[in-house]
Amino acid sequence: MNRQEEKTKVIYNGKIVTEHEGVIESGTIAWKGERIEYIGPTQAYSGHRIAHGTPQESIDAQGGWVLPGFIDVHVHGGNGHDFMEAAPEAYDVITRYHAQHGTTGMLATTVTAPRDALTRVIRAADAYRRADPAYAELLGVHLEGPFISSSWSGAQDPRHIVPPQQDWLEDWVGEYPDIIRMLTLAPELDGAMALIAWLSERGIVAACGHTDADYDCIREAVGQGLRHAVHTFNAMKGLHHREPGTVGAVLSDDRISAEIIADGYHVHPACIRMLSKLKGADQLILITDAIPAAGLSDGEYNIAGLDVIVKDSVSRLKDGGNLAGCTLTMIEAFRFMVREAGLGVEQVSRCASGNPARLLGVEERMGSLSTGKLANILLVTPELELKRVWVHGRPVWEEEDCTKG
């Protein structure tokens, strides 16, 4: 079927979450190809359809939610595979698995590793993103380390921690421009402030994480261009009433956006509610921090050279018991934010889609539902169960597919 004969896809009778118009009750969204053509009340759509005169495929949302696809800026892998494998076959598995749980865009997130291993990931991700997305779209790379604090290594391999190396970034950006979208580092390390300024000048998100930085250090880093905090509360200097630490700076500085792992283990719901109030509607970002064990059964795994035990879906290092990433999916995190943290669906949608899109500078084409944007769309039941997923207007998952491969 050529583009002229292509049918318009329509979802009607849904509660459509939009960025500027709030929730459209009993709404319709229509797209042809990869772009959204119409969003509005269902009763007003008939005139649009007559004017455009195209055949259509219609889906009754049955009062469910129509959401923009989720964007996960911190995800290491899933369904048995890791982005560190630097192989297109592994990337297909990861992007397919997370697309089945509502993620339509993601950053391939690394771990602390030797330079050559990181180079392989950057090269592989750069090649992979050039193809049209078969599943979730790979938007770039998030380098989590290796320029982090050995005091807060968490589940990162301390053997590969090194001081900030700006020449590494210069080489990577020179050879693979626009693929590195975020770098997590400890701002207190020698050379970190200069690197933060360098990243900021090039539009790469500088993020604090795995850090022992005090309050004043984080404030200084913000002045150099620090914009973001990874897995807030975890693997960073905590809050004390006489020394606010990294956490205190993140909570109190409106210039810093904050990730949150909403699984009930990494952060208590009360702290999530506090964080959402302090960061407001636009500076809280939902992530999974998913590891290759996501989607697999409980058991023992080796992840990036470290032994991990997953029990009751919670992953911890075998040696020491530190939490080691997550087996979370974005739709599970979304439900937790609504059901356990008490946030509204519209607000959580911003955390899962609009806010990460703005952080990465891709909000003009994704992250919210509006005419002209990419048709990255989720159909969710009133009970927040995922039913269908579209990426660039193409169906990539339906509920009955969940038992396949």
- Give the 3-state secondary structure of residue 295: coil
Q: Are residues 250 and 293 in the same domain?
A: yes
Residue 186 included in any domain: yes
Residue ranges at the known binding site for Zn(2+): 144, 210, 231
Q: Are residues 63 and 22 in the same domain?
A: yes
Q: What is the pLDDT confidence band of residue 88, given thresholds at 50, 70 and 90?
A: very high
Residue ranges at the known binding site for substrate: 155, 234-235, 242, 266, 323-325
Residue ranges at the known binding site: 144, 155, 210, 231, 234-235, 242, 266, 323-325
Residue 170 included in any domain: yes
Nearest-Å Rg of the Cα atoms of the chain is 21
**366-393 per-position pLDDT tens digit:** 999 999 999 999 999 999 999 999 999 9
- Give the 3-state secondary structure of residue 243: coil
Q: Are residues 25 and 45 in the same domain?
A: yes
Check pLDDT > 60 for residue 232. yes
CATH number, domain of 277, equals: 3.20.20.140
Contact 65, 17 (CB under 8 A): yes
Per-residue pLDDT, 1? 40
Kindly state the DSSP code that residue 204 receives in the 8-state scheme.
P
- Between CA 247 and CA 230 the distance in angstroms is 11
**64-80 per-position pLDDT tens digit:** 999 999 999 999 999 99
| Catalytic residue chosen out of the listed positions 132, 171, 289, 401 | 289
% of the chain beyond a pLDDT of 70 = 95
Residue 3 included in any domain: no
Check pLDDT > 70 for residue 53. no
Q: Are residues 85 and 140 in the same domain?
A: yes
User: Closest by alpha carbon to 110, among 154, 74, 81?
Assistant: 74
- Between CA 242 and CA 231 the distance in angstroms is 23
Residue 23 included in any domain: yes
Is 60 an active-site residue?
A: no
- Between CA 356 and CA 14 the distance in angstroms is 24
Sign of CA pseudo-dihedral 143, 146, 150, 156 = positive
Instruction: Report the domain count for the chain.
Output: 2
- Tell me the residue length of the chain: 405
- Between CA 273 and CA 267 the distance in angstroms is 10
- Between CA 349 and CA 355 the distance in angstroms is 9
Tokens, residue 76: 């290491």
Going through 240-393 in order, the beta strands assigned E by DSSP cover 257-261, 284-287, 299-303, 306-311, 314-317, 377-380, 386-391
Residue 108 included in any domain: yes
